[in-house]
Amino acid sequence: MSALRTSPHVLAVRLREVVDAVGWPVADDSPGQLRPAVAELLEKGTPGALWLTLAVLRGRFPDVAQVEEAARAIRLDGAEALLGQEGDALTRRFADGDVAEVQVLTDAIIVDVNHTAGTDSISGIQRVAREIAPRWQALGQPEFVGWSDGYRTLRPLTAAERDRMSLTGPGPKNRTRLVPWRGTYISPELTAEPPRARALQALGRFGRTPLNFIGYDCIPVTSGGTVAPGMSSSYLGYLAAARYANRVSMISEASAGELVGWRRMARAAGFQGPQIAQIELPVEAAPSPVDALTEARRRFCVPGAPLVLVVGSHEPRKNHLAVLHAAELLWREGRRFNLVLVGSGAWQVQRFDARVDELQRAGRQVVSSTGLPDELLWAAYRLARFVVFPSLNEGFGLPIAEALSVGTPVVTSDFGSMRQIVAPHGKPCGGLLVDPRDDHAIADGMRRLLMDEQLWQRLRTEAGADGRRTWDTYAAETWAFLTGQPAPG
């Protein structure tokens, strides 16, 4: 056993992984044979073989600069010298106790759900990842993966992570580091953590595994200043990886339009950019048990005052100050309603909090509710007279789709994905469209839904009647596109 753990053996095992994956001919396993064979592979082979060799020997995906540097070193001093250095470094790491196995995953479809599998929270993106993971598993049995500490390599999900993603089967037991070779990589997440994005840039540019993503929006580019400064910079790291991607499925027509604009920019800089499809997100209403309805009614409903619901994190892009202003205009007109804002504070919330506080002190019926369980949110959707969502920019606009799915009318923005959801065939169905940059327009929309009983009844019928897409359809369509079948439609 201890003999197996000597460093020449580790090097041999890793070199063997490389030659086996590539199918490079070697006589036998002795280090004396393997090293020259891999050296020859590196000198004659593609950048893909170099990426693979570095990833396997280092147990860490190289970044773009590291691959370029290694390619230059090989050209100047030969691959033997590089392998010598890499072998020495491996020996040192091995002596320091870094003994994780590295396994090449050949010709596999891998699905990267690193972030969602590791958290219990549910943002829009995490909801998508959770809904599609079990469905994709049924469709194609891909390998679900996360990233090892520090985003060094991919790794299998743990049992707890698989549970969180509702995946069946035990999955691999060990904590092997996985290095993909050929096959295909898919992520339904925003892979913008800087080291993750850096690793993906190099994989996309040099590796032999095409990258495919579900893409959500381009808000940091189109609405600069509405996201935290750090976000726009890491988002651009993600886009830098997307330049090398094979396919991206955007969640709405509007967000696909944004990404097509970005691709045009990237092409001016000499990149082909990915194939882009628009596969609209589905919404399936969750049922509301009586308990949930009772509890939500207790929390949010005031007798004689209809419930006006606002769902969305508290950040400037969601335009909550405009909603609060429109509400105040209506209260001053003597309209009675109870305004409930559900969502957690995200960024630059001070002005929002101050305004809510001010209105409450003036005796207005306004409630800001954070950390609401899903069950109560669905109940609130059902109890609301309508939902107001005049956001300035959305990749999809989930709260509108969710409201419509339970037959509740909406007031939302007259462009982009929000318009698309309410008026998929041009004519609004189940909601009113307003200019979110015009407070009066928002107030008018709200006033009509509060006052015009006939209109409200009609919108309610329209909202409830619309046949919505299902997660099954969405998962099937994205799976087909991201695994290389022609784009739908």
Partner 1 sequence: MGRLADAAERQRRQLTTSSIAAARLRMIIETVQPGGAPAANGDLAASVADLIAGGDPAVLWFALAVLRAEFPDVAAIEDAQRLARLDGPATVVRRELAGLRAAAWRGSVPRVRVLSEAVTVDVSHTANVDFVSGIQRVVGETVRRWVAEHDTTLVGWADEYVAFRALTGDEYRRVLGTAPDPRSMVRACEVLIPWRGVHVLPELAVERERTRHLAGLARFANTRVTAIGHDCIPMTSGVTVTPGMTSNFSMFLAAMRYTDRIAVTSHASAAEFTGWRRMVRAVGLRGPDLAEVGLPVQAAPSTAEDLAETKQRLCLAGAPLVLVVGSHEPRKNHLAVLHACELLWREGLRFNIALVGSGSWKAEPFRAKVAEGQAANRPLDSITALPDEQLWAAYRLAHFVLFPSLNEGFGLPAAEALACGTPVITSRFGSMEQIVAPDGNPLGGLLVDPRDDRSIADAMRTLLTDDEAYARLREQARARDLGSWDSYAAAAWAYLTLGET
Backbone angles phi, psi at 187, to 5 degrees: -135, 130
Per the listing, tokens 């099954």 go with: 472
| DSSP type of residue 209 | S
Alpha-carbon distances of 441 from 138, 232, 322, 325, 406, rounded to whole Å: 47, 30, 10, 11, 25
Strands 154-156 and 247-250: unpaired
Q: Which of 139, 286, 329, 367 binds partner 1 (CB under 8 A)?
A: 329
Q: Which of 75, 92, 175, 336 binds partner 1 (CB under 8 A)?
A: 75
CA–CA dist 42, 205 (Å, integer): 17
Contact 469, 280 (CB under 8 A): yes
Q: Which of 233, 370, 457, 461 binds partner 1 (CB under 8 A)?
A: 233
Q: Which of 32, 224, 289, 373 binds partner 1 (CB under 8 A)?
A: 224
By beta-carbon proximity to partner 1, the closer residue of 13 and 329 is: 329
Q: Which of 416, 430, 431, 445 binds partner 1 (CB under 8 A)?
A: 416
CA–CA dist 5, 11 (Å, integer): 10
Q: Which of 84, 257, 428, 464 binds partner 1 (CB under 8 A)?
A: 257
Closest distance to partner 1 from the beta carbon of 326 (Å): 10
Stretch that binds partner 1, among 20-28, 299-307, 373-381, 413-421 (CB under 8 A): 413-421
User: x-or-dash pattern for partner 1, window 337-366, by CB under 8 A?
Assistant: --------------x---------------
The amino acid that residue 46 corresponds to is T
Nearest to 135 by CA among 486, 470, 489: 470
Q: Which of 44, 92, 267, 336 binds partner 1 (CB under 8 A)?
A: 267
By beta-carbon proximity to partner 1, the closer residue of 34 and 64 is: 64
By beta-carbon proximity to partner 1, the closer residue of 162 and 263 is: 263
Task: Please tell me whether residue 258 binds partner 1 under the rule CB under 8 A.
Answer: yes
User: Considering Cα of 401, then 120, then 247, then 107, what sign does the dihedral take?
Assistant: negative
Residues 304-323 that bind partner 1 (CB under 8 A): 321-322
Closest distance to partner 1 from the beta carbon of 328 (Å): 6
Residue 146, helix vs strand vs coil:
strand
Closest distance to partner 1 from the beta carbon of 42 (Å): 15
Q: Which of 170, 230, 334, 489 binds partner 1 (CB under 8 A)?
A: 230
| DSSP type of residue 407 | T
List of residues 6+ apart from 374 with CB closer than 8 A: 122, 286
**Burial zone of 82 (CB within 10 Å; 0-12 exposed, 13-18 middle, 19+ buried):** buried
Task: Please tell me whether residue 393 binds partner 1 under the rule CB under 8 A.
Answer: yes
Strands 338-342 and 307-311: parallel
User: x-or-dash pattern for partner 1, window 194-223, by CB under 8 A?
Assistant: ----x--x----------------x-xxxx
CA–CA dist 441, 460 (Å, integer): 21
Q: Which residues of 90-124 are buried (b: 16+ CB within 10 A; e: fewer)?
A: beebbeeeeebebbbbbebbbbbbbbbbeeeeeeb
Q: Which two tokens stand for residue 250?
A: 């955007």
By beta-carbon proximity to partner 1, the closer residue of 359 and 450 is: 359
CA–CA dist 180, 145 (Å, integer): 11
Instruction: Report CA Rg, the chain.
Output: 27
Q: Which of 59, 142, 146, 237 binds partner 1 (CB under 8 A)?
A: 237
By beta-carbon proximity to partner 1, the closer residue of 7 and 222 is: 222
Task: Please tell me whether residue 225 binds partner 1 under the rule CB under 8 A.
Answer: yes
Residues 469-488 that bind partner 1 (CB under 8 A): none
Size of site (CB under 8 A) for partner 1: 58
CA–CA dist 165, 157 (Å, integer): 10
Residues 53-72 that bind partner 1 (CB under 8 A): 64-65, 68-69, 71-72
Residue 296, helix vs strand vs coil:
helix
Stretch that binds partner 1, among 14-22, 171-179, 335-343, 414-422 (CB under 8 A): 414-422
Q: Which of 214, 387, 392, 463 binds partner 1 (CB under 8 A)?
A: 392
Q: Which of 145, 266, 309, 380 binds partner 1 (CB under 8 A)?
A: 266
The footprint of partner 1 (CB under 8 A) covers 64-65, 68-69, 71-72, 75-76, 198, 201, 218, 220-226, 229-230, 232-233, 236-237, 239-240, 243, 254-255, 257-258, 260-271, 321-322, 325, 328-329, 332, 351, 392-393, 413-416, 436, 439
